[in-house]
Copies of this chain bind each other. A is one copy, B any other.
Amino acid sequence: MNIEMIRAARDRLDGHVRRTPLLNSPFLDEIAGRRVWVKPECLQHTGSFKFRGGWSAVSAPSPEDRARGVIAFSSGNHGQGVAFAAARHGVPAVIVMPSDAPKMKIDNTGALGAEVVLYDRATENRDEITARLAAEHGLTLIKPFDEPLVIAGQGTCGLEIAEQAAEQGIAKADVLVCCGGGGLASGIALALEADAPGLRVRPAEPEGFDDMARSLRSGTIERNARLSGSICDAILTPQPGELTFPILRRLAGPGIVVTEDEAQHAMALAFSRLKIVAEPGGAVALAAALFHGGEIEGEDVIVTVSGGNVDAEVFRLALERFTG
């Protein structure tokens, strides 16, 4: 896993991925006590950064290998990213999803052309189902984060951040990244190491699912006690990845952990101040910047809003609770 793989992914993604802007608002700056710069990957194709990794992984194999199709397991965003990338390449995609994933994510994944296979988190084994289907149909498995091609795709977001920070004259800042398995965070970390060494990734996670923060602290991979039960569905993973953790251990600063209320509050502020739709898991880095300023140094902070695939009811609740 190295920067050349990220630059190669950028070449493959060129013309297919959106270069998301870098947004800011004086109102957010005031809350945070410093300048807050937001990279809204909710505006990416399929509503999350996952399209970057999906496209990277689908576009890399030879056309012959690709033609048999791809398979992925996903609580939603990775599945949509892979499904849309596969559809655009004209190849079949099977997405294995938990039956309790947000309805919008299940519906969208199917509508984007993938075959959706639902499983029961409590009684069925996702990995077994996926392995069996892959073997039966000769499908290439695209893992959600512990896969070099996927990390390389997510890293293209970091190349953009490096460029955009330079345009704003930001040479030194923490870059807070919403973190599940660490694919986005590790990809961005590698990109920044090469192109913007004054910028440092710090993972942001929801309370109760702070496996990465704890793992970085202890220096060894730690697991979460629970596997579900947070509104931040997009970033609930049992533990850091085998590939992503060593990268973040080497490059990332300490993790920041936010409450669900803080994530909802950040969703409401992203609505009112940036006019973007953030899902709960996609808002944790913004929540960290706004409400955990004491854990951050410097005059600028950069955050990802990693996705916006949220059911309307969840979004309405956040607005109801946190807008005046």
A residues apposed to B, CB below 8 Å:
18-21, 23, 26-27, 40, 42-43, 47, 84, 104, 108, 111-112, 268, 271-272, 274-277, 308-309, 312, 315-316, 319-320, 323
Cβ of A272: which chain B residues have Cβ within 8 Å of it?
104, 312
Q: Give the CA-CA distance A18 to B104 in the complex, in Å.
A: 30
**Cβ contact within 8 Å between A275 and B43:** yes
A309 to B273 CA separation, bound complex (whole angstroms): 9
Knowing A26-B112, A43-B276, the reply to whether A268 touches B308 (Cβ < 8 A) is: no
Please provide the 7 A-B residue pairs with the shortest distance between their CB atoms, ordered closest to farther.
A275-B308, A312-B323, A275-B277, A42-B275, A312-B319, A316-B316, A47-B275
Q: How far is B23's CA from A20's CA once the two chains are assembled, in angstroms? A: 10
Q: How far is the CA of A222 from the CA of B323 in the complex (A)?
A: 39
User: Closest B-chain residue to A84, C-beta based?
Assistant: B26
Interface pair A21/B23, CB less than 8 Å apart: no
Q: How far in angstroms is the closest Cβ of chain B from A138?
A: 27
- A112: chain B residues at CB < 8 Å are 26
Complex CA distance for A316 and B322, rounded to whole angstroms:
12
Contacts beyond the supplied A26-B112, A312-B319, A316-B316: 7 A-B pairs with Cβ under 8 Å: A18-B23, A21-B21, A21-B43, A26-B111, A268-B312, A275-B277, A275-B309
Q: List 30 A-B contacts (CB under 8 A).
A: A18-B21, A18-B23, A19-B21, A20-B21, A21-B43, A26-B84, A26-B111, A27-B108, A27-B111, A40-B275, A42-B275, A43-B274, A43-B275, A43-B276, A47-B275, A268-B312, A271-B277, A271-B312, A271-B315, A272-B312, A275-B276, A275-B277, A275-B308, A276-B276, A276-B277, A277-B277, A312-B319, A312-B323, A316-B319, A316-B320
Shortest Cβ distance from A308 into B: residue: B275
Residue among A20, A43, A112 with max Cβ neighbours from chain B (10 Å): A43
Residues of B within 8 A of A277 (CB): 271, 275-277
Q: Considering residues A26, A84, A308, which has the most beta carbons from chain B within 10 angstroms of its beta carbon?
A: A26
Q: Within 8 Å CB of A268, what residues of B? A: 312
Q: How far is the CB of A14 from chain B (nearest CB, A)?
A: 12
Q: Residue of B at shortest CB range from A20?
A: B21
Distance between Cα atoms of A180 and B47 in the complex (Å):
31
* A277→B25 CA distance, assembly (Å): 15
* Minimum Cβ distance to chain B for residue A29 (Å): 12
Within the complex, what minimum Cβ distance (angstroms) separates A48 from chain B? 9
A19 to B18, CA, bound (A): 13
Q: A308 contacts which chain B residues (CB < 8 A)?
A: 275
Q: Which residue of B lies closest to A278 (CB)?
A: B275
Q: What is the CA–CA distance of A26 and B80 in the complex, to the nearest angstrom?
A: 12
Closest approach, in angstroms, between the C-beta of A31 and any C-beta of chain B?
12
Q: With both chains docked as a complex, state the minimum distance between the C-beta of A108 and any C-beta of chain B, in angstroms.
A: 8
Q: Is the CB of A319 within 8 A of B323?
A: no
Specify which chain B residues have a CB less than 8 angstroms from the CB of A274 in the assembled complex. 43
| Minimum CB–CB distance for A255 against chain B, Å | 26
